[in-house]
Amino acid sequence: MMEEYQHQVYPGSDRVSDRRKKLCDKKKRLIKFRAIPDDNLVLLLGHRLTGESYVSVHPPLDELVEKYDPLKEIVEPTPGARAGDRIRFIQFSDSVYYPPIAPWLRSRMYLSRFRGVDTVVYSARELMETRERDLEAYSKQLIETEVFNPARTALRGITVHGSSLRLSEDGLMFDARRRYMLDKETGEVVYTKNQHAIVLDLPISVGRPLTERESRRDDVTYRWDAAPFGARTEVHTVLSRYNRNRMLSGFNPELTEEMNKVR
C-alpha cells in the first residue's frame, strides 16, 4: 500500500530551518503581533480612498457568459477575481540585520499561503501583485503578524533601496523617502506617508519595533554570530545537489545522469 505523500516544505532540522519551514507551511498559523484597522491599511497601500468602491476591469464572473471550461469547475476563484477587481501590488523591503523574513523567502511563503498572486524577488525587496480586495486581505496578514518587524521591515512601493545600508540611530531601516519614524512618546513606529511616499493626513502606527533579542530569535538567516551554517546539514546537501545539477544540465545534460549513477 502506497504511503500518503507528505509535503516537503523545507529541508533541515536546525532553528533557522524550522523557522523557514513554519513560514512556508500554510497549515501553520502566523502569530498575530498587532492590529491595523482596515481603513488605515487602505491608506498605507494608497490604491484607493477609504470607503471608495473597488474598481473593476471586467464584469463579475457570475455575470459573464463563457463557453464551458472544466478547469473553471475545479479552481475556485478568489473573491477579487470573482468580482473583477483590478490588479494592485504591495512591496516590502527587508533589512539584512536580523529580519523576520527575507525577500527570497517571501516568494516561497506567498506562493504557499496565498492564491492568485504574482510575485517578483529583487535584491532587497519583494513585490506581490493580485486582485485588489485579495491584496488587502493578504496585506493585513503580512503587516499584523510575525513576518513584520516595524524596525526591520518596510512598506515601500517606490524608492525601495536602502535595506542593506546602515540602520538609523533609532534602529529603523534607512528610507530615502522618510515614510516612517519612531514616536518617542509611544515607542511605536508611525508612517507619515503611504507606500508610494504620498503624505498621509494623519500618521498611522504599525506597532513597536522588536527588541534585539526578539529579532535574533525570529531571524531566518544563517549568520556567524547568531546561527552558523553547519558544514553537512540537510540544507547544505540539497543546495549543493541543486547547484551541481543546474550547472551540469546547462552544460551537458548527460553529465547529470552520470553523476547520479555514481552517487
Residue 185 and residue 115 share a domain: yes
Q: How many CB atoms lie within 10 A of CB 70?
A: 7
Residue 194 and residue 90 share a domain: yes
pLDDT single digits (tens) 104-128: 999 999 999 999 999 999 878 899 9
Residue 126 and residue 54 share a domain: yes
pLDDT for 163 beyond 70? no
Please state, for a pLDDT cut of 90, what percent of the chain lies above it: 62
Residue 28's Cβ-side half-sphere holds a number of Cα atoms within 13 Å equal to: 15
Which of 108-122, 132-146, 227-241, 242-256 comes out lowest in average pLDDT? 227-241
Q: Which residue has the cell 504591495?
A: 90
244 domain-assigned: yes
263 domain-assigned: yes
Number of structural domains the chain divides into: 2
Which of 89-98, 230-239, 241-250 comes out lowest in average pLDDT? 230-239
Residue 236 and residue 155 share a domain: no
Q: How many CB atoms lie within 10 A of CB 32?
A: 10
Q: Which residues of 80-96 are buried (b: 16+ CB within 10 A; e: fewer)?
A: bbebbbeebbbbbbbbe
Give the β-pairing of 87-94 and 153-155.
antiparallel
44 domain-assigned: yes
8 domain-assigned: no
Q: How far apart are CA 89 and CA 118, in angstroms?
A: 9
Residue 220 and residue 236 share a domain: no
Residue 110 and residue 68 share a domain: yes
Q: How far apart are CA 126 and CA 106, in angstroms?
A: 7
pLDDT band at 66 (very low <50, low <70, confident <90, very high): confident
Residue 238 and residue 174 share a domain: no
Average pLDDT of span 39-60: 95
CB 53 within 8 A of CB 76: no
pLDDT band at 8 (very low <50, low <70, confident <90, very high): confident
pLDDT for residue 231: 42
6 domain-assigned: no
Residue 158 and residue 189 share a domain: yes
pLDDT for 262 beyond 70? no
CA distances 11 to 17, 24, 77, 233, 235, Å, are 7, 12, 32, 9, 6
Average pLDDT of span 67-84: 91
Residue 258 belongs to what domain range?
A: 230-263
Measure the CA angle with vertex 8, ends 6 and 9; round to 5°.
125
pLDDT for 232 beyond 80? no
pLDDT for residue 228: 61
pLDDT band at 247 (very low <50, low <70, confident <90, very high): confident
7 domain-assigned: no
Helices 132-144 + 38-45 axis angle, to 10: 110
pLDDT single digits (tens) 37-47: 999 999 999 99
Residue 235 and residue 129 share a domain: no
pLDDT band at 15 (very low <50, low <70, confident <90, very high): confident
132 domain-assigned: yes
1 domain-assigned: no
Q: Which residues pair with 155 in a beta bridge?
A: 92
In the chain, the N- to C-terminal Cα span, in Å, equals: 28
pLDDT single digits (tens) 177-207: 999 999 999 999 999 999 999 999 999 999 9
Q: Could you tell me which of 244, 222, 208, 191 has the C-alpha nearest to residue 104?
A: 222
Which of 49-53, 171-175, 247-251 comes out lowest in average pLDDT? 247-251
C-alpha cell at 74: 475545479
Check the CA dihedral 70-73-76-79 and report its sign: positive
Residue 241 and residue 203 share a domain: no
CATH number at residue 143: 3.90.320.20
pLDDT for residue 57: 94
Please state, for a pLDDT cut of 70, what percent of the chain lies above it: 89
CA distances 32 to 36, 72, 168, Å, are 11, 34, 26
**The pTM is what?**
0.84
Mean of the per-residue pLDDT values of the chain:
88
Residue 247 and residue 207 share a domain: no
C-alpha cell at 187: 515607542
pLDDT for 210 beyond 70? yes
Residue 259 and residue 174 share a domain: no
E strands of the chain, at which residues?
87-94, 118-121, 125-131, 153-155, 180-182, 189-193, 199-205
| 244 or 158, which is more confident | 158
